[in-house]
Structure 1
Amino acid sequence: MSIADGEIQIDGGEHSTQTTLQDTLTLLPPHRDAKGWCDPVGSKSTYTALYFDPVLIGEALEQYRGAEIEPVLYGRDPALVGTMKKISDVARSGGDQLYADQLCILAAIEALGLRSILKPIKGGLSAKQLACAKDFLHEHQARPISLAELAAHVGLSRHHLTRAFTTSTGKPPFRYLAELRVERAIGLLVNSDQSIAAVAKACGFGDDGNMRRVMQQLLGVGPRQVRQTR
Structure 2
Amino acid sequence: MTDGVEYKRLAGLPGLVLGVGRFKEFSFERHYHLDYHVGLVTDGVQRQCVNGEAVLLGPGRVSLMPPGEIHDGAGESGNAYTLKTFRLSGDLLRDVAAEVTDSDHREPGLNGMMLEDRTLAAQLLQLHDAMRLSPDASALCVQSEWLSLLHCLFARSGAIKPVAIKGALSPVHWQRLKDYCLFHLAEKITLDELATLCGLGRFHFLRRFKQTIGMTPHAWLLRLRLERACSLLARGKPTIAEVAQGVGFYDQSHFNRAFRQAFGVAPSAY
If the TM-score is normalised by the length of the shorter chain, which range does it land in?
0.7 to 0.9
Q: What is the distance in 2 between the residues matched to 1:131 and 1:164?
A: 14
Q: What is the distance in 2 between the residues matched to 1:209 and 1:48?
A: 29
Structure 1 letter corresponding to 2:116: R
Q: Which structure has greater helix proportion?
A: 1
Aligned twin of 2:82: 45
**Contact 2:44-2:81 at 8 Å conserved across structures:** no
Q: What is the distance in 1 between the residues matched to 2:157 and 2:219?
A: 22
**Contact 2:148-2:203 at 8 Å conserved across structures:** no
Out of 204, 229, 233, which is 1:160 matched to? 204
Aligned twin of 1:33: 69
How is 1:1-230 mapped onto 2 (pairs within 5 angstroms)? 1-3=43-45, 6-9=47-50, 15-18=53-56, 21-29=58-66, 31-39=67-75, 41=78, 43=80, 45-49=82-86, 51=88, 53-63=92-102, 67-73=108-114, 75-88=115-128, 90-91=130-131, 92=133, 97-113=139-155, 117-226=161-270
User: When the two structures are superposed, what TM-score results if normalisation uses the length of structure 2?
Assistant: 0.68
Percent of residue pairs bearing the same amino acid type: 23
Shift of 1:108: 0.5
Gaps of 5+ in 1: none
Describe the superposition over 1:125-180 as per-residue Cα deviations: whole angstroms up to 9, x where unpaired. 12222222222222222112221221123210111111111222222211221111
User: When the two structures are superposed, what TM-score results if normalisation uses the length of structure 1?
Assistant: 0.79
Describe the superposition over 1:157-205 as per-residue Cα deviations: whole angstroms up to 9, x where unpaired. 1111111112222222112211110011112222144332332122112
CA RMSD of aligned residues (A): 3.0
Q: What is the distance in 1 between the residues matched to 2:233 and 2:169?
A: 34
Q: Which structure has greater strand proportion?
A: 2
Describe the superposition over 1:66-86 as per-residue Cα deviations: whole angstroms up to 9, x where unpaired. 65333223x221221231243
Structure 2 letter corresponding to 1:58: A
Q: Mark the CA change 1:134 to 1:212 in structure 2 (over 3 Å): closer, same or farther.
A: same
- Judge which range, 153-162 or 48-57, deviates more: 48-57
